[in-house]
Amino acid sequence: MEQVDKVLAGDGFFTSRLSDVIGWARKFSIFWYPFVTACCGMEYMSVSCAHYDIDRFGAGLPRFSPRQADVLFVVGTISQKLSPVLRRIYEQMCNPKWVVAFGVCTCTGGFYDDYATVQGIDTIIPVDLYIPGCPPRPETVLDGLVKLQQKIQDQKQAIV
Partner 1 sequence: MEESALIQSIRAKIANDILGFHSFRGDDTILVRRESVFAVLKMLKEEFDFNMLADLTAVDYLGQEPRFEVVYHLNSLEKNIRIRIKTPVNEGEEVDSIVSLWAIANWLEREVWDMFGIKFKDHPDLRRLLMYDEFEGHPLRKDYPINKRQPRVAPIWKGIR
Cβ neighbours of residue 115 closer than 8 Å, sequence gap 6 or more = 80
CB of 74 to partner 1, least distance (A): 13
Considering only 32, 33, 73, 90, the residue that binds partner 1 (CB under 8 A) is: 90
DSSP string of 72-119? EEEES--BGGGHHHHHHHHHHSPSS-EEEEESHHHHH-TT--STTB-S
Which is nearest to 75 in space by CA: 38, 107, 108, 125?
38
Considering only 6, 87, 137, 156, the residue that binds partner 1 (CB under 8 A) is: 87
Report whether 58 contacts 27 (CB < 8 A).
yes
Q: For partner 1, how many residues bind (rule: CB under 8 A)?
A: 16
Considering only 124, 128, 132, 151, the residue that binds partner 1 (CB under 8 A) is: 124
Nearer to partner 1, 52 or 112 (CB): 112
Contact between 89 and partner 1 per CB under 8 A: no
Residues at the site binding partner 1, with contacts judged by CB under 8 A: 80-81, 83-84, 87, 90-91, 114-116, 118-119, 123-126
